[in-house]
């Protein structure tokens, strides 16, 4: 591999491995965008802690064997860079009508609008998540968690840069306008919201943060994998590198929930509580009861399912046919990669019942990706349930049925229980508090959200991690707080 591509040029204002130093026009456009980004970070990035030293990793290479280094950095001084995975020689378009043709290094004119739309949607989610999480620093359960939050935030910021680079370099004036719009929309804003539903929801507490990084970042993983297959090579290379960073975000979610579950089980055991559904008794211990964890899980999983769009979608079919957005692990799938005659089973509402119906595989691509996602979600659940069963409790966290609590797709107009039993609106309104976090649940969790800022100490409701970041010892000062 070419050393210039592997190592990142830090001599320009914007670190990059795309030779920006010689691409004056794009460099100028990005430098023009930079102040607006810094203003956005100041207004909508983490509240407080901007002068604190945070032990962050920064990407310095795209070599998977060693791409990041750790050091204390003030967040506004983090080097947000443009990093693309190395170009694969002779890469071909791996699916669709153009299957086997050389991948595009420039935007194919006939697919320009579709490509821009997908890049803008992807870009929009990145700053949205930073906005959703901006207040969490104030209630972090430890310095370790505080650092992880900020790591996720700066990297989402970098992912915005990644999409903005593509817009500025390949889409001319409308790309520049879209790049400005990405800084203008705001999560949850009534007039100018972020584009996708889940990114306008609140992330009110740290349990939600862990659920978000587990479930919603995992949608990010699936979508990035699909875009990493793109015949538009710069998009593919960008997404491939983003996935390297994304893995840590899901680690934060998975281990975060593990640690909450672990602490709850330990506290219940120590107090001799045998019934994990005795909510009042468990809460009195200052930990989050398992049924409430299940409710949070129900909420974040279903909000994330909505991010896959409708089960049957011509948008998805068009993007695949065009060679713009592929399937999860496309190149490893053994079929014709064109899907002209294939079918795929889709869950649909037929005569008031949830049934699998064969649909053309091309229009069912969102459903397929969502199925891949659900399978991926199950892995962490098994680990959480192992913690519960090892502690001797008869309780299982489960993923709700895909018909439950949906706002997009086949089930958006009906109500169903987490077990997938269809119910009417009155029953739903009466019972939804059993399945989704209620105001009382939110208030209880909020009451636990007290900041812990002493190195090596953790809030009552969460266990310490098994290992430190960058193998640091348990009492390492991950954030040197300066306000
Ligand atoms: N909310 O044919 P349809 C991440 C719209 S997360 C609101 O059903 P399609 C991250 C849709 O736009 C990954 N609107 O769906 C995670 C369309 O509107 P128009 C982000 C929605 O197009 C954590 C209409 O409904 N990346 O990276 O096949 C932290 C009909 O659409 C929603 C991507 O999503 C919704 N949930 O698929 C940080 C990849 N769903 O155009 C980051 C790029 C659908 O008719 N995006 N609509 O006005 C895509 O691939 C597709 O646009 C979608 C939707 C999968 C989102």
- Strands 479-480 and 53-59 come out as antiparallel
Nearest residue (by CA) to ligand 1, atom 19, is: 315
For the chain, the average pLDDT equals: 96
Which of the listed residues 309, 359, 373 should we mutate to test ligand 1's pocket, taking the one with most ligand atoms within 8 A of CB?
309
pLDDT tens digits along 281-304: 999 999 999 999 999 999 999 999
Q: Provide the pLDDT for residue 2.
A: 44
For residue 315, how far is its CA from the centre of ligand 1 (angstroms)?
10
**Strand-pair category, 353-360 with 68-74:** unpaired
The CB density around residue 446, as the number of other CB atoms within 10 Å, is 12
User: Tokens for 41?
Assistant: 């970070």
For residue 92, give the DSSP letter: B
Residue nearest to atom 6 of ligand 1 (CA): 220
pLDDT computed for residue 13 by the predictor: 79
Average confidence (pLDDT) over 97-124 = 98
Q: What is the pLDDT of residues 31-78, one digit of tens each?
A: 999 999 999 999 999 999 999 999 999 988 888 777 889 999 999 999
318 C-alpha vs ligand 1 centroid, how far in Å?
14
List, for residues 338-387, the tens digit of each pLDDT value: 999 999 999 999 988 999 999 999 999 999 999 999 999 999 999 999 99
Please give the number of the atom of ligand 1 that sits closest to the Cα of 198. 36
CA–CA separation, 387 and 393 (whole Å): 9
The torsion angle over the Cα atoms of residues 268, 272, 276 and 277, rounded to 10 degrees, is -120
Q: Looking at per-residue confidence, does 1 or 173 come out higher?
A: 173
pLDDT of residue 4: 47
Q: Is the pLDDT of residue 183 over 90?
A: yes
User: pLDDT category, 5, cuts 50, 70, 90?
Assistant: low
Ligand 1 centre and the CA of 119: distance in Å? 11
**What contacts 473, CB < 8 A, 6 or more positions away?**
none
The pLDDT value recorded for residue 6 is 62
Q: What is the mean pLDDT of residues 180-196?
A: 98
pLDDT tens by residue, 17-29: 999 989 999 999 9
178 pLDDT more than 80: yes
The confidence score (pLDDT) of residue 8 equals: 74
pLDDT at 66: 76
Spacing, Cα 309 to ligand 1 middle (Å): 5
C-alpha distance across the termini of the chain, in Å: 44
What is the radius of gyration, based on Cα positions, of the chain?
A: 23
Distance 54 CA to ligand 1 centre (A): 33
pLDDT of 483 higher than 80:
no
For the chain, give percent helix, strand, coil, nearest 5.
Answer: 50, 10, 40
Angle in degrees, CA 69, 71, 76, rounded to 5: 105
pLDDT of 3 reads 41
Which residues line the pocket of ligand 1, CB cutoff 6 A? 118, 121-122, 125-126, 129, 156, 196-197, 216-217, 219-220, 223, 306-310, 313, 315-316, 325, 366, 408
Find all residues with CB under 8 Å of 352, minimum gap 6, and list them. 422
Where does the pLDDT of residue 11 fall: very low under 50, low under 70, confident under 90, or very high at 90 and above?
Answer: confident
Residues above pLDDT 90, as percent of the chain: 93
Cβ-Cβ contacts under 8 Å for 444 (sequence gap 6 or more): 283, 288, 292
Among 282, 312, 308, which residue's Cα sits nearest to residue 461? 282
For 249-285, write each residue's pLDDT tens digit.
999 999 999 999 999 999 999 999 999 999 999 999 9
Query: Does residue 10 carry a pLDDT above 80?
Result: no
| Atom of ligand 1 minimally distant from the CA of 314 | 2
Q: Determine which of 42-46, 64-68, 84-88, 104-108 has the lowest per-residue pLDDT on average.
A: 64-68
pLDDT band at 1 (very low <50, low <70, confident <90, very high): very low
> Using the 8-state DSSP alphabet, how is residue 212 labeled?
I
pLDDT tops 50 at residue 102: yes
């Amino acid at each position: 591999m070419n050393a210039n591509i592997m190592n990142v040029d830090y001599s320009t204002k914007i670190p990059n491995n795309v030779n920006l130093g010689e691409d004056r026009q794009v460099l100028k456009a990005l430098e023009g965008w930079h102040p607006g980004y810094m203003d956005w970070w100041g207004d909508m990035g983490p509240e407080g802690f901007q002068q604190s030293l945070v032990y962050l990793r920064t990407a310095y290479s795209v070599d998977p064997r060693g791409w990041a280094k750790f050091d204390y950095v003030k967040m506004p001084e983090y080097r947000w860079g443009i990093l693309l995975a190395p170009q694969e020689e002779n890469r071909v378009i791996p699916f669709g009508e153009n299957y086997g043709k050389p991948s595009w290094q420039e935007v194919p004119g006939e697919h320009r609008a579709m490509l821009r739309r997908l890049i803008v949607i992807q870009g929009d989610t990145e700053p949205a998540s930073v906005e959703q999480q901006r207040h969490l620093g104030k209630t972090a359960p430890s310095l370790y968690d505080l650092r992880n939050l900020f790591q996720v935030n700066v990297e989402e910021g970098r992912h915005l840069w990644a999409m903005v680079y593509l817009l500025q370099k390949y889409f001319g004036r409308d790309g520049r306008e879209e790049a400005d719009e990405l800084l203008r929309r705001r999560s949850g804003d009534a007039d100018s919201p972020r584009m996708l539903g889940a990114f306008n929801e609140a992330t009110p507490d740290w349990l939600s943060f862990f659920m978000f990084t587990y479930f919603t970042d995992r949608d990010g993983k699936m979508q990035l994998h699909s875009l990493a297959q793109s015949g538009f090579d710069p998009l593919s290379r960008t997404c491939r590198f983003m996935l390297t960073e994304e893995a840590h975000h899901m680690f934060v979610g998975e281990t975060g929930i593990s640690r909450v579950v672990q602490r709850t089980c330990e506290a219940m055991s120590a107090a001799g509580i045998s019934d994990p559904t005795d909510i009042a008794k468990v809460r009195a211990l200052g930990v989050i009861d398992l049924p409430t964890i299940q409710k949070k899980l129900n909420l974040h999983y279903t909000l994330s399912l909505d991010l896959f769009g409708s089960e049957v979608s011509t948008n998805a079919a068009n993007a695949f046919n065009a060679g713009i957005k592929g399937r999860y692990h496309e190149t490893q799938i053994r079929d014709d990669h064109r899907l002209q005659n294939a079918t795929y089973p889709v869950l649909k509402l037929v005569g008031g019942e949830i049934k699998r119906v064969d649909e053309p595989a091309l229009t069912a691509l969102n459903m397929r990706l969502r199925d891949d996602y659900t399978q991926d979600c199950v892995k962490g659940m098994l680990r959480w349930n192992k913690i519960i069963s090892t502690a001797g409790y008869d309780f299982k966290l489960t993923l709700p049925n895909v018909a439950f609590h949906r706002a997009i797709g086949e089930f958006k107009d009906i109500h169903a229980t987490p077990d997938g039993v269809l119910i009417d609106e009155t029953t739903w309104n009466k019972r939804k508090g059993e399945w989704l976090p209620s105001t009382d649940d939110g208030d209880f969790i909020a009451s636990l959200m007290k900041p812990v800022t002493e190195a090596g100490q953790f809030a009552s409701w969460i266990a310490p991690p098994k290992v430190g970041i960058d193998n640091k010892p348990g009492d390492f000062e991950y954030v040197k707080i300066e306000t």
